[in-house]
Amino acid sequence: MSLSPSLFRFAGCDSARLGFSCLVAPCRIRVERMERGHAIHGSGTTQVSAMECGSMSLSRGWVSTLDGSASASAGSAVELCASASSNTVSLGGLQWDVYNPSGKYRVVVTKKLVGDLWLDVLTSRDFRVEVCQSELTLSQQQIMAAMGSRCDGVIGQLTEKWDDTLFVALKRAGGKAYSNVAVGFDNVDVDAATRHGIAMGNTPGVLTEATAEMAVSLVYACARRVVEADAYLRAGKWKNWLPTLFIGKLLSRKTVGIVGAGRIGSTVGLMLVRGAMMDLVYYDKYQNKQFEAKLDSFARALAEHGEEPIRWRRVDSVEDVLRAADVVSLHPNLDKTTFHLMNAERLKMMKPDAILINCARGPVVDETALVEHCRATPTFYAGLDVFEDEPQLKPGLDQLENVVIVPHIASATVWTRAGMSTLAACNVSSVVLGQPTLASLDILPHVNAPGATQVPPTAPAIVNAKALGLPAAAAPKM
């Protein structure tokens, strides 16, 4: 029997003890990307005998069994295990993984992130990186304890409240930069960051398509009652094909309404116009000319092929969108102007069989009013990725069949989350190292770089760069 390649990854272990147990030996083990010497013959392929144990020192590496290189009888296994206790520290009851412990600069990361590049960027730029292993939201006290008396930067999360208290503490610790791992930063008091001279970063652009795809998924899930039908089938209730079973709504040639036609809103609009052939209305404080040009050119292309063109218009108010649209997708940033933008009164303006999607921020919708509205109007559907009191839901929301709910995962694709992590790492490390900020939003060279040394030496997205007078760089070429 061939062993499939099984990978065991070591990241940032100062000293990892590996135990190999192989029921049928020998097998070949390959250790890749080793940076320091180790006890089993250096990098490359090595033979490991049955039950042999080795210990190695490395800062980063992969260990894999090579496909087909080992034979084992049925039921046998090769196990690779490691303990790297020396790179895990406990602080205030929380476990922190420490990478590159001798790094010159120190960055605190409040959650485990996705991918390798973000960590490679930080360690290759001489940062000691401490990553909290807890899945719970850290309190301000816990974050302050983690920053301690010396901290150059923090990579934090939208679930944390970054206000004056934390920026004072970061400044006192010698910090220069904070980055959210999110495009939205309604959890951050940017003025407070600026007052204390802290650069505040976010991760725009890299999550546009992923978030838009989730919004569109929710539109289809609501329109075609996917979740209800799935539950029905799993419950063993399906007895026969019936003309009346789970009748949904056809999107084609209906109207989608976009509130907040920025990066994500306009992408959702284009996906539904081009993919589902919907007409479109949109409301935004600002005209999105690029979006409009794309809508026009799609309409022209249809006409050139003898098809009925799609229609679109920009309207003057949210209310105009709500009255006209069969599907309303919300994509503004959360601020005072968009808090409870969708309240009881505005929900009643929508068509009784409309679909409301929220992939922006929970408080953009008055969730209690939405529960009432959905309860009173079973033909109305809502698809929600975000909630007012995450992770709690308002009472009754999860009981409604005409609501599709997912736990704030709109940006949760591998490429997107890895890209967000890399942008956050670049934001913090570049500011600490005095590198310039990126003037345009050309973030792809940062997130698609083949290795850490190819990542441009710029901070890709610093919200208060101008206010702090940080130097700006031209966008790097791909």
Ligand X SMILES: NC(=O)c1ccc[n+]([C@@H]2O[C@H](COP(=O)([O-])OP(=O)(O)OC[C@H]3O[C@@H](n4cnc5c(N)ncnc54)[C@H](O)[C@@H]3O)[C@@H](O)[C@H]2O)c1
256 is a contact residue toward ligand X (CB under 6 A): no
Among 361, 373, 394, 446, binds ligand X (CB under 6 A): 361
Which residue carries 């050119």 as its tokens? Answer: 297
- Of 42-50, 58-66, 255-263, 299-307: span binding ligand X (CB under 6 A): 255-263
Among 184, 396, 457, 476, binds ligand X (CB under 6 A): 184
Taking the complex as a whole, the smallest distance from the CB of residue 147 to ligand X amounts, in Å, to 25
Residue with smaller CB distance to ligand X, 265 or 456:
265
Identify the residue among 138, 207, 222, 470 touching ligand X (CB under 6 A): 207
Judged by CB under 6 A, the residue of 13, 70, 177, 183 near ligand X is 183
DSSP symbols for 114-182 = SSSHHHHHHHHTTEEEEEE---SPPPHHHHHHHHTT--SEEEE-TTS-BSHHHHHHHHHTT--EEEESS
Smallest distance, ligand X to C-beta of residue 330, A: 9
* Residue nearer to ligand X on the CB measure, 338 or 435: 338
> Cβ atoms within 10 A of the Cβ of 69, count?
17
Stretch that binds ligand X, among 132-140, 187-195, 325-333, 465-473 (CB under 6 A): 325-333
Structure token digits, residue 195: 């007052």
30 catalytic, yes or no? no
Q: SS3 letters for 397-425?
A: HHHCCCEEECCCCCCCCHHHHHHHHHHHH
**C-beta closer to ligand X: residue 179 or 338:** 338
| Binding residues among 381-410 for ligand X as defined by CB under 6 A | 385-386, 408, 410
Interface with ligand X, residue 342, by CB under 6 A:
no
Query: Which residue has the CB atom at the shortest distance from ligand X?
Result: 262
Instruction: Compute CA distances 324 → 148, 213, 254, 264, whole Å.
Output: 54, 23, 10, 21
Is residue 157 within the footprint of ligand X (CB under 6 A)?
no
Q: Which one of the listed residues 106, 263, 408, 417 is annotated catalytic?
A: 408
* 388 is annotated as an active-site residue: no
Q: Does 289 bind ligand X (CB under 6 A)?
A: no
Write the secondary structure of 3-50 as one string of H (helix), E (strand) and C (coil): CCCCEEEEECCCCEEEEEEECCCCEEEEEECCCCCECCCCCEEEEECC
Q: Closer CB to ligand X, residue 241 or residue 286?
A: 286
Restricting to residues 83-112, which ones interact with ligand X according to CB under 6 A?
A: none
- Residue from 120, 152, 189, 284 that binds ligand X (CB under 6 A)? 284
How far from 312 is each of 62, 108, 288, 377, 453, CA to CA, in Å?
52, 47, 13, 28, 45
290 binds ligand X (CB under 6 A): no
In contact, 292 and 270? CB cutoff 8 Å: no
263 binds ligand X, rule: CB under 6 A: yes
60, 361, 373, 446: the active-site residue:
361
d(CA 309, CA 324): 18
Closer to ligand X by CB, 66 or 315: give it. Answer: 315
Q: Select the residue interacting with ligand X from 90, 252, 290, 337 (CB under 6 A).
A: 337
Cβ nearer to ligand X, comparing 17 with 161: 161
Does the protein bind ligand X through residue 336 (CB under 6 A)? no
Rounded to a whole number of angstroms, the minimum distance from the CB of residue 215 to ligand X is 8
Provide the 3-class DSSP secondary structure of residue 475.
coil
356 near ligand X, rule: CB under 6 A: no
Q: Which residues contact 95 (CB under 8 A, 6 or more apart)?
A: 88, 89, 132, 133, 134
Kindly give, in sequence order, each residue whose CB lies less than 8 Å from that of residue 317, ignoring residues fewer than 6 positions away.
283
Interatomic CA distance for residues 29 and 8, integer angstroms: 11
Which range, of 52-60, 62-70, 204-212, 236-244, touches ligand X by CB under 6 A?
A: 204-212
Helix (H, G, I), strand (E, B) or coil at 449: coil
Nearest-approach distance from CB 411 to ligand X, in angstroms = 4
Q: Is the dihedral of CA 453, 457, 459, 461 positive or negative?
A: negative
Applying CB under 6 A, does 73 fall inside the site for ligand X?
Answer: no
Nearest to 335 by CA among 276, 262, 396, 431: 262
Residue number, 341 or 432, with CB nearest to ligand X: 341
Interaction between residue 162 and ligand X (CB under 6 A) = no
Residues 296, 310 contacting (CB under 8 angstroms): no
Q: Which stretch binds ligand X (CB under 6 A): 26-34, 258-266, 294-302, 367-375?
A: 258-266
Q: Which of 234, 237, 239, 285 is in the footprint of ligand X by CB under 6 A? A: 285
Closer Cβ to ligand X, 217 or 430, answer by number: 217
Q: Is 33 exposed, middle or buried (0-12, 13-18, 19+ CB in 10 A)?
A: middle
Sign of CA dihedral 437, 442, 447, 453: negative
Among 59, 411, 437, 458, binds ligand X (CB under 6 A): 411
- Whether 408 sits among the annotated catalytic residues: the reply is yes
Could you tell me where the DSSP H helices lie in 224-330?
226-234, 263-276, 289-304, 318-324
For residues 460 and 448, the answer to whether their CB atoms sit within 8 Å is no
The position carrying tokens 């970061």 is 170
Active site (catalytic) residues: 361, 390, 408
Q: Give the binding site for ligand X (CB under 6 A).
A: 183-184, 204, 207-208, 211, 259-265, 283-286, 331-334, 337-338, 359-361, 385-386, 408, 410-411
